[in-house]
């Protein structure tokens, strides 16, 4: 079975806790090591210094006092106070205490000698009592007591010397070690700073990079991108949850937008049907009245032509139930409409329709041009006494098609032109046909498409419709 490995995620509090741990634990270890080394050297230094101080308490006149008291004791002098047992015992106890705290080899040998000589001296002091004569006692005093006290004092001085040397060496070693420790600490500190900085950079990147992606995603949505994307991958559970919920919210919002667009399209479709319902009866009544008038005037051929044109007009209006037709079909529809209007207005208008054959296969919303032509007739040609003309053209703009309906009718004042432009943009009820055509084009193709109007009073009006260049088979259903 193939094992799928998933990246383990953590809470941001845990990640920040790790960050703090990485910073403080290594620093604490380094500081603890430094303090430990300093304490060890301080302990050794203090111990040796204590030994030297304690050894300095040794009676410097030890030999003279012990020798003199022993002489008085042996000679049975009136100054005799007994054997100097306390002096020797104190020296031995001092030696044993120093032996416990001494670490230098030579110092140990010296202080051991002091201790052993004190024990021997005590024995020799007791042996004097067993001497048979005064001369023998004096001989033991010279050969044993004086020599032992001299050795005890000499070894104690040796001990002080060795400990002083050891203390000096330790001080020098401590100074050197402190230098090494400073250099080592600096090197270790630099290494740790690099390692900690690398780790911090990694954690920071793991936190900030997903946040930056989320900010970019917010910017994209603010710009109108409501497509659901793959959630941002983040190590922090909070950021991952935020990204997942964010994309879920975008998906729900996108669904609502699409549903709203569908509802808007249905609404516009209903408006288009309403427009057709308003236009067709009114237009039909006027046309039938004209046909009746032609028949009464015994203009048989004109009435036949008008009935034929009316039949074509409604057949193209139906367009087999399609809302999107080809430019060729839209041209036939306009020609039938203009043919009927030409018969109605007779010599008051001419028209010209120029749509290149190469543009015939491309699609256009049904009833796009008819309201524009109707506007030119009723608000342009009809309002003047002179004979008018209407020209319908289509121009290939590459990826777009520009359709123009131009008349030489009454035109519009600047105020009226501004009002009509406002009507188209704001969707006011005035100019229902033009507004509906414009909104339907923008609904289908986007805000860059739609109608524009230019007009000069007494010269005429030009209405321009821009649509994308899309083949009829690829057009909207």
The tokens describing 404, both together, are 């123009």
Q: How far is CA 411 from CA 80, 384, 424, in A?
A: 153, 10, 17
Dig out the tokens for 156 from the structure: 């104690």
Task: Write the CA distances from 455 to 167, 448, 462, integer angstroms.
Answer: 111, 21, 6
What are the φ/ψ torsions at residue 431 (nearest 5 degrees)? 70, 50
What separation in angstroms does the CA of 363 have from each of 113, 201, 325, 403, 435? 122, 57, 5, 12, 20
Task: Yes or no: say if 333 and 309 are a contact pair by the CB < 8 Å rule.
Answer: no
DSSP string, 9-33: -B-HHHHHHHHHHHHHHHHHHHHHH
- Reading the block at residue 4, the tokens are 């799928």
pLDDT of residue 204: 76
Identify the three-state secondary structure at position 354. Answer: strand
Please name which of 120, 110, 106 lies closest in space to residue 148, comparing C-alpha atoms. 120
Helix (H) and strand (E) counts in the chain: 12, 7
In whole angstroms, give the CA distance from residue 383 to residue 377: 9
User: Do the bridges between strand 363-365 and strand 460-468 make them parallel or antiparallel, or are there none, so unpaired?
Assistant: unpaired
Judged on CB neighbours under 10 Å (0-12, 13-18, 19+), 374 is middle
How much is the pLDDT for 477? 47
Q: Which CATH number fits domain 255-474: 3.40.50.2000, 3.40.50.360, 3.30.2320.30, 3.30.565.10?
A: 3.30.565.10
The number of beta carbons lying within 10 Å of the beta carbon of residue 326 is 20
Q: Residue 430 — left, alpha, or beta (φ > 0 → left; ψ -120 to 50 → alpha)? A: beta
- Secondary structure (DSSP) of 62-90: HHHHHHHHHHHHHTT-TT-----HHHHHH
Range(s) of the chain covered by CATH 1.20.120: 12-207
CA distance 391 to 351: 6
- H/E stretch holding 461: strand 460-468
Q: 471: which DSSP letter?
A: B
The Cα 18–Cα 196 span in angstroms is 11
Burial 435-474 (b: 16+ CB within 10 A, else e): bbbbbbbebbbeeebbbebebeeeebbbbbbbbbebebee
Q: What angle do CA 256, 261, 262 make, to 5 degrees?
A: 100
Under 8 Å between Cβ of 287 and 307:
no
| Strand residue runs (E) in 293-416 | 324-326, 349-354, 363-365, 388-396, 400-407
Residues of the chain below pLDDT 70: 1-13, 15-16, 18-19, 22, 44-45, 48, 51, 54-59, 226, 234-236, 246, 263, 266-283, 316-321, 426-432, 472-477
Domain with CATH 3.30.565.10 in the chain: 255-474
Kindly list the distances between the CA atom of residue 204 and the CA atoms of 11, 26, 96, 189, 236, in Å, as whole numbers in the listed order.
14, 19, 63, 21, 11
The whole-angstrom separation of Cα 58 and Cα 150 is: 14
Note whether 390 and 351 are within 8 A (CB).
Answer: yes
The CATH code of the domain at 12-207 is 1.20.120
Closest to 437 (Cα-Cα) out of 275, 287, 310: 275
Q: How many CB atoms lie within 10 A of CB 5?
A: 5
Give, in degrees to the nearest 5, the angle at Cα 239 between 235 and 242: 140
**H/E element, 350:** strand 349-354
Q: Which of 224, 218, 217 is nearest to 446 (CA)?
A: 224
């Amino acid at each position: 079975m193939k094992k799928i490995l998933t990246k383990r995620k953590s809470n941001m509090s845990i990640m920040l806790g790790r960050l703090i741990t990485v910073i403080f634990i290594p620093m604490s270890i380094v500081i603890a090591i430094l303090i430990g080394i300093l304490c060890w050297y301080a302990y050794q230094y203090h111990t040796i210094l204590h030994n030297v101080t304690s050894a300095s308490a040794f009676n410097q006149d030890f030999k003279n006092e012990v020798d003199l008291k022993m002489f008085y004791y042996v000679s049975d002098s009136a100054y005799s106070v007994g054997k100097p047992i306390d002096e020797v015992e104190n020296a031995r106890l001092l030696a044993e205490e120093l032996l416990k705290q001494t670490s230098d080899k030579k110092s140990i040998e010296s202080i051991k000698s002091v201790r052993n000589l004190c024990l021997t001296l005590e024995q020799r002091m007791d042996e004097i009592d067993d001497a048979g004569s005064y001369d023998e006692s004096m001989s033991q005093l010279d050969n044993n007591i004086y020599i032992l006290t001299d050795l005890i004092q000499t070894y104690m001085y040796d001990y002080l010397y060795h400990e002083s040397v050891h203390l000096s060496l330790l001080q020098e070693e401590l100074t050197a070690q402190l230098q090494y420790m400073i250099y080592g600490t600096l090197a270790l500190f630099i290494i740790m700073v690099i390692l900690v900085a690398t780790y911090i950079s990694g954690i920071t990147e793991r936190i900030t990079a997903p946040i930056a992606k989320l900010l970019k995603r917010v910017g994209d949505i603010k710009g109108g991108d409501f497509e659901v994307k793959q959630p941002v991958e983040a190590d922090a559970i909070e950021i991952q949850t935020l990204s997942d919920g964010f994309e879920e919210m975008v998906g729900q919002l996108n669904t609502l937008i699409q549903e709203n667009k569908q509802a808007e399209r249905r609404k516009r479709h209903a408006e288009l049907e309403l427009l057709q319902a308003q236009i067709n009866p009114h237009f039909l009544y006027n046309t039938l009245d004209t046909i009746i008038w032609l028949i009464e005037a015994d203009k048989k051929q004109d009435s036949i032509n008008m009935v034929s044109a009316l039949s074509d007009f409604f057949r193209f209006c139906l367009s087999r139930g399609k809302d999107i037709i080809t430019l060729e079909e839209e041209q036939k529809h306009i020609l039938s409409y203009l043919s009927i209007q030409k018969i109605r207005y007779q010599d008051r208008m001419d028209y010209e329709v120029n749509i290149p054959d190469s543009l015939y296969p491309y699609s256009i919303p049904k009833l796009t041009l008819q309201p524009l032509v109707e506007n030119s007739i009723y608000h342009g040609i009809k309002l003047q006494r002179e004979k008018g003309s209407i020209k319908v053209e289509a121009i290939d703009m590459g990826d777009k098609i520009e359709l123009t309906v131009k008349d030489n009718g009454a035109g519009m004042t600047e105020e009226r032109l501004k009002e009509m432009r406002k009507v188209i943009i704001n969707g006011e009820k005035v100019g229902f046909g033009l507004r509906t055509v414009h909104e339907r084009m923008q609904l289908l193709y986007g805000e860059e498409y739609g109608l524009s109007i230019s007009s000069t009073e007494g010269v005429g009006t030009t209405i321009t419709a821009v649509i994308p260049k899309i083949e009829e088979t690829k057009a909207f259903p």
